[in-house]
Amino acid sequence: MKLAMIMGSPKRRGSMSAHLIKEMTKATRKAGEVLVFNAAKPERFDEVLSCDRLVFVFPLYFDSLPSHVVSYLEQLAAYIKEHPPEKTPSVYAVCNLGFYEGYQTKWALGRIQCWAEAVSLPWKTGLGIGAGPFTAHLPPEARKKTDNGKEKFLELLFSDTAGDNIYTEPDIPKEMFVEIANANWIPQLEANHLTVDDVMHPKLRHENGK
């Protein structure tokens, strides 16, 4: 089995998408080979399509895909039309977001599914990880739902099986998640000489001449 992991984060380093690819690559070592591609560099499409599975890994941007991922999909679709692949790789997707609810990724995962169907590649399933960057710093007992979701996704990936999209969130109340988030981003605002009102009411800030 040969997997193509397409990294969809625009960050050069330290992204949650890169972290997830690293996790999946480690889990795949005994099952097959992993090739990692970057959606910011739409090239080597022949290598991408030589794989048995395509796994798009990206952050949620405005309930959809980052613009460079959209561009990558368009260019890959054009390549497939001109150079029909000998293989028919299955398509999977992993989307993470900063908000609590993983199901908020359903529209973005749906776009990958629509793309796969448009280019006649079999869509299998997607994984939506709520509070993605946050869960990476939680103890195991507080991320059981997320870890179970990842395990289920890998089972479907390794067996080339289709299934319903999987959505996860942390094993802590949403109120606690919001409280912890506020304890982090508000001090960052203050360190940059901003207030919550500056962010929540930018028009008022502009009118006051700040």
CA-CA distance, 35 to 113, in Å (whole number)?
21
Could you tell me if 10 and 41 lie in one domain?
Answer: yes
Report the pLDDT value the prediction gives residue 133, as an integer from 0 to 100.
76
Could you tell me if 203 and 119 lie in one domain?
Answer: no
Could you tell me if 55 and 113 lie in one domain?
Answer: yes
Could you tell me if 197 and 151 lie in one domain?
Answer: no
Could you tell me if 103 and 80 lie in one domain?
Answer: yes
Q: Please tell me which residue, 195 or 210, carries the higher pLDDT value.
A: 195
CA separation (Å) from 37 to 42, 168, 185, 193, 207?
9, 25, 32, 39, 45
**Could you give the number of structural domains in the chain?**
2
Could you tell me if 194 and 166 lie in one domain?
Answer: no
Q: In the chain, pLDDT over 70 holds for what percent of residues?
A: 90
Sheet holding 2-7, edge to edge: 33-38, 2-7, 53-59, 90-96, 123-129, 166-168
pLDDT higher than threshold 70 for residue 183:
no
Could you tell me if 142 and 192 lie in one domain?
Answer: no
pLDDT higher than threshold 70 for residue 143:
yes
What is the tens place of the pLDDT at every residue in 12-30?
887 889 999 998 999 988 8
Rounded to an integer, the average pLDDT of 77-105 is 92
Could you tell me if 53 and 128 lie in one domain?
Answer: yes
Per-residue pLDDT band for 101 (boundaries 50, 70, 90) equals: confident
Among 23-32, 141-150, 195-204, where is mean pLDDT lowest? 195-204
CA-CA distance, 102 to 130, in Å (whole number)?
4
Per-residue pLDDT band for 163 (boundaries 50, 70, 90) equals: very high
Could you tell me if 54 and 151 lie in one domain?
Answer: yes
The domain in which residue 184 lies consists of 173-210
Could you tell me if 25 and 128 lie in one domain?
Answer: yes
As a three-state string, the secondary structure of 141-187 is HHCHHHHHHHHHHHHHHHHCCCCCCEEECCCCCHHHHHHHHHHHHHH
Phi, psi of 120 (to 5 degrees): 60, 40
Rounded to an integer, the average pLDDT of 68-97 is 95
The one-character DSSP state at 64 is B
Contact 113, 123 (CB under 8 A): yes
CATH for 118: 3.40.50.360
Report the pLDDT value the prediction gives residue 25, as an integer from 0 to 100.
92
pLDDT higher than threshold 60 for residue 154:
yes
Report the pLDDT value the prediction gives residue 30, as an integer from 0 to 100.
80
Report the pLDDT value the prediction gives residue 182, as an integer from 0 to 100.
61
Radius of gyration of the chain (CA): 19
Could you tell me if 210 and 121 lie in one domain?
Answer: no
Could you tell me if 183 and 114 lie in one domain?
Answer: no
